[in-house]
Structure 1
Amino acid sequence: MTLPSLGDLIAAAHIVSLPLVTRFRGVEHREAVLFKGPEGWTEFSPFLEYEDAEASVWLSAAIDFGWRRQPDPVRDRVPVNATVPAVDAADVPGVLARFDGCRTAKVKVAERGQTLADDVARVRAVRAVMGPEGRVRVDANGGWNVDEAEHAVHALAEFDLEYLEQPCADVEELAELRARIADWDIPLAADESVRKAADPLAVARAGAADLLVVKAQPLGGVARALAIVDEAGLPAVVSSALDTSIGLSMGVALAAALPDLPYDCGLGTASLLAADVTARPLRPVGGMLPVGRIEPDAALLTRHAASPERRAWWLERLERSAALL
């Protein structure tokens, strides 16, 4: 398959800005570049603060998904979790109501400007809605040091956590924390230590995590993410980067191709968007997402087109990222 030139990508680019239901990662709109390749629609949407070298990996994933045949799926539906941003505890029921049938909830904690008491209140509210049989995991996005993380484990242990995602920023801290809480039976998951690392396998070699969180775009595409999981030899959960439904379909393709899928996946995040590029957004129904390509609606692409200034910003970023491939 002939891969696209930069000119091809620029000519095919649809740049959108989608409003969020709740402020997330400090933004109220999610911007993305969408292309249609020979294999179907694909997405390039690195977060705004990422440097060009990191963004270029996301571009590799977009090209791979749009221009190359993907690994064959081994399942036709993928179970997903609800995602609860760092909202007030009182807002938790409304957030969870947007995730139909999800038996698992991932709760954001360690938000800058908030306290552990805020986290405890939020997780308590999630547990109350999910009930004793629901699964609750928390994600600190590397926001704690080892001592803070250990203290948080003590404070949150009463809520029967499924696992704790990226409590500390680096592999050495994760390894130390894992040793400290070995008797607590709370698994540690590595996310940033996989997708933002020069060596995504370092965390597995160091014995610093019990499972990996993998994302298709940041890891360079479905096939590369599958290879990382296989070489790491650890269970994996597939998550999203607050993509449009097109980007989410790439994550679903990854989850569908994993030989084993022991955890619900963080791919239900279209429920955090107030608008999408398709009339049938990839939102969970009965806690599941279907496997398959997503076609955008032309009217929605027009309605949510980014401003000329933002379009120019993204095209310049696209050019810089392509130069690094």
Structure 2
Amino acid sequence: MVPEIADLLATARVVSLPLTTRFRGITVREAVLFEGPEGWTEFSPFVEYDDAEAAAWLHAAIDFGWRATPPPLRDRIPVNATVPAVAASDVDSILARYPGARTAKVKVAEPGQTLADDVARVRAVRETLGPEGRIRVDANALWNVDEAEHAIHALAPFDLEYVEQPCATVEELAELRRRIHYMGIPIAADESVRKAADPLAVARSGAADLLVVKAQPLGGVHSAQRIVAESGLPAVVSSAIDTSVGIAMGAYLAAALPELEFDCGLGTVAMFVEDVADEPLRPQDGSIPVVRPTVSTGRLDALQADAERTRWWLDRVRRCHRILEHAVAL
């Protein structure tokens, strides 16, 4: 079911949330929130995504706001800390925002930085977490196969839990996985799932050991749950720098999976200076609760985007809504 556009726009609020640290090239995260029959929901595709890609995110918002979530199998979700491509000297202050987290996801392969920068950052994380901590690195598909193999060799001494999307294509992932198989370091696929025409191709090709799934880009909780089930691979539920509302969407997805072997990337509300929820879903004791947060009108007013950005986002909602209506009509 696709609600009427008037129903979406009736409660739509466009917000602009400042980040504590530059991440993915941005210092402010914008989102649209709607209130549906099931509660508040979120539409926040990154601004560079075209309407065809962004429409899946609107489908996810409708799914979470207008459809009951699957029955949860757990009431709290363990989460990882997220370490942007900061200097090694800044690692401790970043990790302090994630109290109790036993796992850290470390960004690597940042344009303009070197492998030496990555090694120093990962070393600092290992020193802070200690030998029992878990470290995963995320290259966001920015290495080629040779670069990835070289980098993984350099980072292997820090006992990596897995390497997320080291290369861009399924074929490259498969080749890299073949090359480093003897090292016992798993390969996780993210962009090869959420940005793919066929999100299951990476699993069928044997190109990854696990999937990173995000509710919004995969069309919602129910769609992402189905993809995980059909893949037959372990999954890590992650987020896209969402507000507490979007994080809740991910938490309900993680709560519905039969197996949850890995800590999830759902602690990123810690990256915001402010959030829309009265009780933001920031990590406590290394986890977040599976709840729909109460959204404060006062916070929505305080974080409201300016008139130009509000028009831009609402026009985007209208365009994506037309795409969904057309898909349903077919």
TM-score exceeds 0.5 = yes
Matches for 1:137-148 after TM superposition, within 5 Å: 137-148=136-147
Matches for 1:227-266 after TM superposition, within 5 Å: 227-266=226-265
Counterparts of 1:12 and 1:204 in 2: how far apart (Å)?
Answer: 39
Q: Does 1:27 align with 2:22?
A: no
Tell me the percent identity. Answer: 69
**Contact 2:279–2:294 (8 Å) recurs in 1:** no
Q: After TM superposition, where is structure 1 displaced by more than 4 Å over at least 4 residues in a row?
A: none
* 1:214 match: 213
Paired residue secondary structure (2:323): coil
1:251-270 CA-partner distances (Å, limit 9, x unpaired): 00000000000000000000
Counterparts of 1:76 and 1:278 in 2: how far apart (Å)?
Answer: 19
* 1:225 match: 224
Between Structure 1 and Structure 2, how many residues are aligned?
Answer: 324
Matches for 1:33-112 after TM superposition, within 5 Å: 33-112=32-111
What letter corresponds to residue 204 of structure 1 in structure 2?
Answer: A
* 2:328 match: none
Paired residue secondary structure (1:181): helix
Counterparts of 1:292 and 1:158 in 2: how far apart (Å)?
Answer: 38
What letter corresponds to residue 108 of structure 1 in structure 2?
Answer: K
Deviation at 1:40, TM superposition (A): 0.6
Counterparts of 1:124 and 1:3 in 2: how far apart (Å)?
Answer: 48
Q: What are the ranges of 5 or more consecutive residues in structure 2 without an aligned counterpart?
A: 325-330
* 2:125 match: 126
Q: What are the ranges of 5 or more consecutive residues in structure 1 without an aligned counterpart?
A: none
Counterparts of 1:280 and 1:224 in 2: how far apart (Å)?
Answer: 28
Counterparts of 1:36 and 1:73 in 2: how far apart (Å)?
Answer: 21
**Contact 2:212–2:238 (8 Å) recurs in 1:** yes
What letter corresponds to residue 174 of structure 2 in structure 1?
Answer: A
Deviation at 1:175, TM superposition (A): 0.2
What letter corresponds to residue 281 of structure 1 in structure 2?
Answer: P
Taking structure 2 as the reference length, what is the TM-score of the superposition?
A: 0.97
What letter corresponds to residue 201 of structure 1 in structure 2?
Answer: L
Q: Does 1:191 align with 2:190?
A: yes
Counterparts of 1:212 and 1:144 in 2: how far apart (Å)?
Answer: 18
* 2:295 match: 296
* 1:135 match: 134
Deviation at 1:3, TM superposition (A): 4.2
**Contact 2:106–2:137 (8 Å) recurs in 1:** yes
What letter corresponds to residue 141 of structure 1 in structure 2?
Answer: N
What letter corresponds to residue 121 of structure 2 in structure 1?
Answer: R
**Contact 2:278–2:294 (8 Å) recurs in 1:** no
Deviation at 1:292, TM superposition (A): 1.2
Counterparts of 2:292 and 2:61 in 1: how far apart (Å)?
Answer: 13
Deviation at 1:203, TM superposition (A): 0.2
* 2:180 match: 181
Q: Does 1:319 align with 2:318?
A: yes
What letter corresponds to residue 315 of structure 1 in structure 2?
Answer: L
Deviation at 1:294, TM superposition (A): 1.1
What letter corresponds to residue 223 of structure 1 in structure 2?
Answer: H
Taking structure 1 as the reference length, what is the TM-score of the superposition?
A: 0.99
1:63-116 CA-partner distances (Å, limit 9, x unpaired): 010001110000011100000011111100000000010000000001111111
1:32-51 CA-partner distances (Å, limit 9, x unpaired): 00000000110000011101
